[in-house]
Structure 1
């Protein structure tokens, strides 16, 4: 039935959209998480998905959770921003003490009803790990016990850690490695996905797999099994080289159909063949198809070569987008979901390929030096390297906050445009 058939397709498309976003975003965050852990930075939270928690467990000082909305994930690292920002001067705060009168739990009075309540007067949670609180007995200074819990709400909390476990307390190179790890993971994922597609559907080789009847190739005597070595004295290393050599020769001659000189290896012996292309659909063809190989020793390196090549092409596209103000070419989550839906109509491997493309673009986009993105954080690290000292963390945090707000407004505008185009 058409209704059931359409319903099945949209269910498959929805699953494809969820899987693509989930894998690309979660692995990006896993890159940050893994390098942070290896660098000795406390990571209180690693989540798959957003929204309410469905399942959670604790291991190695990290709360892992699976959440309701499976469209990505996030990681929370200690000391990305100063821990003091949780407790602005003048804020009312509830706190609990241990037997040594050290703070072991902090939070909003409504979330920590059994605690003492006071007003924050001074706070240092980076070096001294202490707070001065205006209590009923006057202003008192309390030590904050390492791993004291900050209550985010009645059920969730994160730890306060000492400087050596904070992001801000690590050397510049370690902080840069943590930030770069997310985009690097996206590039690796793209290369892996491209490689998987290559192994499963095969990659074109420089060997002719089929000669179409009635074409210039057949007339010139080319055969299936011939390996193309040269075209017009230019060495051939891939099937793309064959296609581009035919097209570029045709374009260089301003549409004139001049013979091409092909050197092929036939039964291990070189043969020179003259073939004159014909015009079809506005381009030059000679009527051959490539033989494909599924050999991982060739398919996997080709996947990573494709990743590098597509990275270069994407950087060029970003440059043209900025220089020619082609911002209408940008797509938000809705536009990306539509692309995934269209590829789901074609087949599973097209979805895997688009996941690789999306992962690559996510990695590159995050490297743009815009506040709130990984590239923006790296920019502040470069400034720190040049100045010889850190930018005030609170000022940097404010810049990232403003950048994030602008990005959200931009995302809303693009999403609105994508929705209006679709409907």
Structure 2
């Protein structure tokens, strides 16, 4: 039996995942900003009180702060870490204005902002591609090997040897594609296209629900079709092919993230399933006890989610900035400072509310509220 991770391992594992991912995200902004001729005044990993810092020959202050839950690059002409334009940038000298972020064309500003999430996706491609290069790429054709008695698959009439061609209109290329769709949709009626003895069959199947609890006490509600595949075969992956395999896996995980968000928005999954920093720390410690491969996979998964979340069109996030730049590109002029200020304030309130909510969820998953209610009772 594997023991649960202690507090020290959990903290170290969390920092070992979040620190590098925040760095590569911000470095994406920084390096594209440099290519566009924008001076970075500060590059911060974390928020709050500064732990240590140094200034490079370009005048950029590299700092590490106490709260490692994010970071920022403050470019010349920015009023704050949220990259709101400083109204006084127009009063700068011609040379300083040329190095400032607000003075750049809208496409360059958009490229600088988009680079952060893009580098998170690229990091995930490299991590998952490297994992496939070292371990091989697990493959299993989408062919039913076994059908569990009493399962949704048996009720629908699936048989060993059936090839699942499409689910919900999505092409199924491997057995793992089945799981990525079905697992997120317990009790949902989905359209299946099956190939049996050279014939095509159209079936509607609702997967059953299975409740899982891992060895660390986490509870999951998952869809279960009730079919098994042939044993996995780890296909060797060349160094040249590894990025392609990594990109394919990132696309699959990104699609799953979109599916999960869509289900939460439409009410098919509970908001209580949203986790925050405490949950990430807990899972990081668990992954560290499972071995380096699980740890690398978790890092890639969080990197994808970090890129995805930052692309949401919420002011204060990269997606919010990109929305403003899209409007500017269409209208030919920037969104007014008053509208931007209102949007940033609203975005900050949304993010703070979300942070409080996911922290409440995290503490609930750890059983804190049950413990307190027991003490009070």
Q: Which residue of 1 aligns with 2:120?
A: 186
Q: 1:357 aligns with which of 275, 298, 301?
A: 301
Q: 1:16 aligns with which of 13, 17, 21?
A: 13
Q: How far, CA to CA, are the matches of 1:167 and 1:199 in structure 2? A: 40
Alignment of 1:107-126 (within 5 A): 125-126=88-89
Q: Which residue of 2 aligns with 1:167?
A: 101
Return the offset for 1:308. Answer: 1.4
Q: How far, CA to CA, are the matches of 2:332 and 2:320 in structure 1? A: 18
Q: Which moved more, 1:297-306 or 1:17-26?
A: 297-306
SS of 1:403 mapped into structure 2: helix
Aligned: 1:27 with 2:21: no
Q: Which residue of 1 aligns with 2:34?
A: 37
RMSD of equivalent CA atoms: 3.9
Q: How far, CA to CA, are the matches of 1:389 and 1:259 in structure 2? A: 59
1:243–1:397 CA distance, 2 compared to 1 (3 A): closer
SS of 2:90 mapped into structure 1: coil
1:394–1:40 CA distance, 2 compared to 1 (3 A): farther
Higher relative contact order (CA 8 A, sep 6+): 2
SS of 1:296 mapped into structure 2: coil
Aligned: 1:47 with 2:44: yes
Q: How far, CA to CA, are the matches of 1:13 and 1:125 in structure 2? A: 45
Q: How far, CA to CA, are the matches of 1:79 and 1:171 in structure 2? A: 14
Question: Aligned pair count?
Answer: 306
Alignment of 1:21-420 (within 5 A): 21-50=18-47, 51-81=49-79, 125-129=88-92, 162-205=96-139, 239-240=174-175, 283-285=226-228, 287-324=230-267, 326-420=270-364
Q: How far, CA to CA, are the matches of 1:233 and 1:287 in structure 2? A: 14
1:178–1:396 CA distance, 2 compared to 1 (3 A): same
SS of 1:391 mapped into structure 2: coil
Return the offset for 1:371. Answer: 1.2
Return the offset for 1:367. Answer: 0.8
Q: Deviations over 1:360-411 (max 9, x none)?
A: 0111111111111111111111222222211123541342133113311320
Q: Deviations over 1:151-183 (max 9, x none)?
A: xxxxxxxxxx73222211111101110110111
Query: Which segments of 5 or more consecutive residues in structure 2 lack a partner in the other structure?
Result: 148-160, 183-194, 199-223, 369-377
Whether the 8 Å contact between 2:278 and 2:359 is mirrored in structure 1 is: yes
Q: Deviations over 1:43-98 (max 9, x none)?
A: 10112344323241322121223445555432111223499x99xxxxxxxxxxxx
Q: Which has the larger radius of gyration?
A: 1
1:203–1:166 CA distance, 2 compared to 1 (3 A): same
SS of 1:11 mapped into structure 2: helix
Q: Which residue of 1 aligns with 2:185?
A: none
Return the offset for 1:187. Answer: 0.6
Return the offset for 1:6. Answer: 7.0
